[in-house]
Chains A and B, each alone.
Chain A
Amino acid sequence: MKVDSYTCNGVRVPAGAVRARIIKRLTSLRARAGATSETARAPLLTKAVELQKELDRLKEFADDAMVGRAGCGADLTEQIQAIPDDGDVYTYTCPKCGNTGTVRKTPAPEEEKADVVATS
């Protein structure tokens, strides 16, 4: 049985800001990789490849396209768990950063509900 937990990703930020953040990390990683031994370099270069892929995915977006997230980490579990599983769309609000978004919980399939009734 799945026990849910939810974490806030933060408010929206423009693609330009996300790009700048990734480029800064990439520059730092590559500098560290260059200054270390070949063996120690491997995880740094692997991470650099991942970051480059993220950067490549952003190529199609203008700098002001709001496609990134600022990051937050607040626990939204209690708020989202309180939302009923009625198939409707509900809005959540992060108490830490103010990020808002939507959640939809679909009800359990009929056969699962019938099973619960039979065994209760």
Chain B
Amino acid sequence: MSIVADELLACQSANMPEDDASASGGAIAPAGKVEFTDIAATDAVRVVSNGADARTITITGRLASGAIDSEALVLNGATPVAGSKLFERILKIAASAADGARTVTVTRNNGPTFTPIATLEPTITSVRRLFYNAASESGVTTRYEKIFFKNTNASLTLTAAAIQLTADPAATIRIGAAPSNDDTASVANRKTAPGSVVFVDDGVSQNIAGSALAAGSGVGVWVEMQRGANAAAVKNTFTVQLAGTTT
């Protein structure tokens, strides 16, 4: 059976920094996701598992004041647990441990809709936003973080594989494929540019190494965020796509 889109997973890298001093990049970290739907309006968060589950889910985000805060919610199996802190945006969601069988659904506590925010599937322990707590400065600032796309199909290679930035409403992002697949390159901090990477904006589609991603392999995608001098705060999303052909 051909590769389907759900088999091309976007993952974190080993080092997802929360400041400008820590390392950025590294090897693939498949237990971490980078895709979620941010909370649309300031509200509490609700978590629920799909079976017996007593893990702790820690929600970290900004309150309406702008301050970063966290709330630890202990799962009660398939009975929803609602938090009390009101988050204006979500920064990261972390499970206290991995579970090979349980799926945790994180939603806004806006019953009866319960708008989805993120899903932590079996073996997934975190979902997070890139460029955590990054701020503009008196001069132009450029930061670099790394994600991966992994081909989780059991046997098929994604051929004619290319990445592209399909949406960048804030016009602040460029992306670049790592020079080789399954690489472990990192930089000393997220203000240090990775070597030998070609960063392009959303107007260009870029092939990955060998134009192919074998079954089980991952391709690193460096993400560059540039903010102008004294740039205003931005709360936005960007979309990266890996596409190719399959037998």
Contact = CB atoms under 8 A, between A and B. Distances in A.
A2 B201 contact: no
A50 B202 contact: no
Given A106-B193, A108-B195, A101 B202 contact: yes
B179 A1 contact: yes
A80 B162 CA distance: 16
Contacts of B203: 8-10, 69, 92, 94, 99-101
Interface stretch (B17-25, B60-68, B124-132, B206-214): B206-214
B206 A8 contact: no
Contacts of B210: 2
A107 B224 contact: no
B46 interface: no
A102 B174 contact: yes
A69 B162 contact: no
Q: Is the interface of B mostly helix, strand, loop or mixed?
A: mixed
A112 B196 contact: yes
A67 interface: yes
A65 B177 CA distance: 27
Given A103-B198, A104-B224, A109-B196, A6 B169 contact: no
A21 to B, nearest CB: 13
Contacts, number: 99
A5 B195 contact: no
Contact of B199 (A5, A92, A104): A104
Interface residues of A, number: 37
Interface in B149-197: 162, 164, 166-169, 174, 176-177, 179-180, 193-197
Given A1-B179, A4-B206, A5-B211, A103 B196 contact: no
A67 B238 CA distance: 10
Interface residues of B, number: 36
Nearest to B2: A43
Interface in A63-93: 65, 67, 69, 76, 80, 85, 87, 92
Contacts of B202: 9, 69, 101
Q: Is the interface of A mostly helix, strand, loop or mixed?
A: loop
B162 A101 contact: no
Top 5 nearest A-B pairs (CB, nearest first) are A101-B203, A109-B195, A2-B209, A101-B201, A7-B205
Interface of A: 1-10, 43, 46, 50, 57, 60-61, 65, 67, 69, 76, 80, 85, 87, 92, 94, 99-109, 112
25 contacts: A1-B180, A1-B209, A2-B208, A2-B210, A4-B206, A4-B207, A5-B206, A5-B211, A6-B207, A8-B203, A8-B205, A9-B202, A46-B4, A65-B169, A67-B168, A69-B202, A69-B203, A85-B196, A92-B204, A94-B203, A101-B204, A103-B198, A103-B200, A106-B195, A107-B196
Interface of B: 2, 4-5, 162, 164, 166-169, 174, 176-177, 179-180, 193-211, 224, 237, 239
